Amino acid sequence: MSDLLDLSAVEARAALDAKSISATELTSAYIKAAEETASLNNYVLLTPDHALAMAARADEKLAKGEAGLLEGIPLGVKDLFCTTGVATTACSRILQGFTPPYESTVTANLWAEGAVMLGKLNCDEFAMGSANETSAFGPAINPWQSAEKIDLVPGGSSGGSASAVAARSALMATGTDTGGSIRQPAAFCGVVGLKPTYGRCSRWGIVAFASSLDQAGPFTRTVADNALMLQAMASHDAKDSTSSVVQLQDVMAAVGQGVSGMKIGVPREYVMDGMDPDVMALWQQGQDWLRQAGAELVEVSLPHTKYALPTYYIIAPAEASSNLARYDGVRYGLRVEAGSLDQMYEATRAAGFGEEVQRRILIGTYVLSAGYYDAYYLKAQKVRRLIKQDFDTVFTTVDALLTPATPSAAFAVGRKIDDPVVNFLNDVFTVPANLAGLPGMSVPAGLNADGLPLGLQVLGKPYDEASLYRVAGVLEQATAFTATPTRRAGGAK
């Protein structure tokens, strides 16, 4: 059985097409794996009956030779994606008991291509957090452990997604990335995570955090799987006004194309004080690998990088404070009855939202207030344009950028949660891509001295995911990343 869990999605698809395994068999193995690794708390809801029914349908399709891109591939869905008839909570008490009568466009695309839903995955409440510690279901745990065997965070907000894919309890998973919520957990858990270009995947049916930054993307164990999943997820969607009509490139083909002749920038502003020396070393190693593969590496400058975090922490909460106004106890989710309408709002939102969500709503409300709007929100929008211009300028001379994905490896559960500002720093390398709407990818590239995975980030031009897959394909090959976490399903311990 452990063999089944170690198949990549591309391999599993070949085996399914060859009838050497069945979708039901593969799905059953993953259901068992999820149960086996339940202590990681990466699923908030398992839907085994649903999964087996979908697997049976996939087997029928396979038998008829009508298989879709992801026919029979069992995957997990971040609990931010609305799924018809299956509880969707954004890991918040305020959406307790909410079961949507509609399916998000992204998950609908996945099911249309034959994917099988194993269940809903843990995440930070409303995707607000970098450690998956703000979830109403408690923290998801990273399957990787250092020598001390203490529980580590899987990163966030898509912590459950990264944890499950790494632990072999999902072959792939959906995530969303507002400031690094796919790339940072992917790096912490040693898996591949892509934040596509803003507009590439429809936001329709995904619980909104910050509309101008949110973007859905795939978590996988290999770069090729990632390209495969992106193909299935991405689409133009008339129901999302910010969805792009630009066609997705042939990303599957890009994976093996190599980087020969590519010009890759290394932004000097991404060298930060107090960065883990292992991260610095890996970044240098990554540059060497790419150079050896025929790319030209050049130092570039993104002068406004240092303003990215403060800009992000104004814009994201501003949008969130408005996006989360709909959770008011009137129509769905939690309601705490009280004397007047205003009291009901207060009681419901105080009980329904966790501390981090409340903090961001307060910040967002503040920066949009009369008298502060110009100094905060408007200024942040101006800086956002400057950050975007930095990238536009750099991309006139280079094809992609190589940076670390995170300043450090995964940390212990509970270690940083007391200091929200330190938590915010996790996003320092990932946030600029969200502000600029660019695609970014985190690829596992090695282990640190404690044996924990580290990731490198590749950033590209808008709608040029193909270049990311070219670079990531080379890094994957050079790294030969074969290590697996200790708390995985099915593996030899």
What are the residues binding other proteins (CB under 8 A)? 81-82, 88, 90, 95, 98, 100-102, 104, 203-208, 210-212, 238-242, 318-319, 321-322, 324-326, 328, 330-332, 341-342, 345, 365, 368-370, 373, 377
At its nearest, how many Å lie between other proteins and the CB of residue 232?
19
Catalytic residue among 130, 135, 181, 442: 181
Instruction: Quote the CA–CA distance of 137 and 45 in Å, as a whole number.
Output: 10
Instruction: Enumerate residues 6+ apart whose C-beta is below 8 A from 480.
Output: none
Please, what is the minimum distance in Å from the beta carbon of residue 349 to other proteins?
A: 10
Distance of alpha carbon 388 from the chain centroid: 21
For the CA atoms of 286, 144, 438, 133, what is the dihedral angle to 10 degrees?
A: -150
DSSP classification of residue 489: S
Q: Which amino acid, one-letter code, is at 274?
A: G
Report whether 142 contacts 130 (CB < 8 A).
no
Q: How far is the CB of 18 from other proteins (least distance, A)?
A: 38
What is the C-alpha to C-alpha distance for residues 90 and 72, in angstroms, rounded to an integer?
Answer: 26
Task: Kindly write down the DSSP assignment for every residue of 7-25, as one continuous string.
Answer: --HHHHHHHHHTTSS-HHH
Residue 242 beta carbon to other proteins: minimum distance, rounded to whole angstroms: 6
Give φ, ψ of 187 to 5 degrees.
-65, -45
Known catalytic membership, residue 181: yes
DSSP annotation of 248: P
Q: Annotated catalytic, 388?
A: no
Shortest Å distance, C-beta 423 to other proteins: 24
User: What does the angle CA 387 – CA 319 – CA 330 come to, to the nearest 5 degrees?
Assistant: 170
Nearer to other proteins, 38 or 102 (CB): 102
- Please name the helix (run of DSSP H) or strand (run of DSSP E) that holds residue 223, with its range, or none: helix 223-233
Distance between the two ends of the chain, CA-based, in angstroms? 14
Q: Which one of 22, 92, 104, 157 is the catalytic residue?
A: 157
Give the nearer residue to other proteins in terms of CB position, either 275 or 344: 344
State how far the alpha carbon of 146 is from the alpha carbons of 161, 276, 412, 487, in Å: 20, 16, 10, 11
Cβ nearer to other proteins, comparing 16 with 94? 94
The nearer residue to other proteins, 126 or 270, going by C-beta atoms, is 126
Taking the C-alpha atoms of residue 106 and residue 103, their distance in angstroms, rounded to an integer, is: 8
* Amino acid letter, residue 447: L
3-state secondary structure of 481: coil
Beta carbon of residue 56, minimum distance to other proteins (angstroms, whole number): 28
Annotated active-site residue 157? The verdict is yes
Rounded distance between C-alpha atoms, residue 350 and residue 362, angstroms = 12
CB of 343 to other proteins, least distance (A): 12
Residues with a catalytic annotation lie at 78, 157, 181
